[in-house]
Amino acid sequence: MQARSESKYVRISAFKARQVTHLIQGKPVPEALAIVDLIPRKAARLVARTLRSAVASAENAEHGPSVPAASLTVREAVIGEGPTMKRFRPKARGMAGRIRKRTSHIKIVVTDEA
């Protein structure tokens, strides 16, 4: 049985968030949650929130049997790039510097299959 969760338009660069998801891919859920809780990064908090949502979906499944969190593994943890907000900052001599505020889509799939 699979359960998935997505967080869209999260205000963090996909490059920074991918560093966290590479650490939890393929790990059991209790171990993945422990890893994410100990990493001192903004991306870790956002990934943990999405992971907990996927685990809750698996535990409270409407279609099919509910599964305890201890028997789940992280099958897929993907960070996709969302839209980029473009802003400008005034620079010297009438110029403008571009600022890119990047967003991400976080998708996590947990499963009880080996």
What's the pLDDT score for residue 53?
96
Domain ranges of the chain: 2-111
What's the pLDDT score for residue 24?
96
pLDDT of 30 higher than 90:
yes
Q: Mean pLDDT in the chain?
A: 94
Strand partners, 105: 80
Global pTM? 0.90
17 vs 69, which has greater pLDDT? 17
Going by pLDDT thresholds of 50, 70 and 90, the confidence category of residue 114 is low
What's the pLDDT score for residue 88?
97
How far apart CA 37 and CA 104 sit, in angstroms, is 20
What's the pLDDT score for residue 75?
96
How far apart CA 61 and CA 26 sit, in angstroms, is 22
pLDDT of 1 higher than 90:
no
Going by pLDDT thresholds of 50, 70 and 90, the confidence category of residue 61 is confident
**Range 2-111 has CATH code 3.90.550.10:** no
How far apart CA 61 and CA 75 sit, in angstroms, is 17
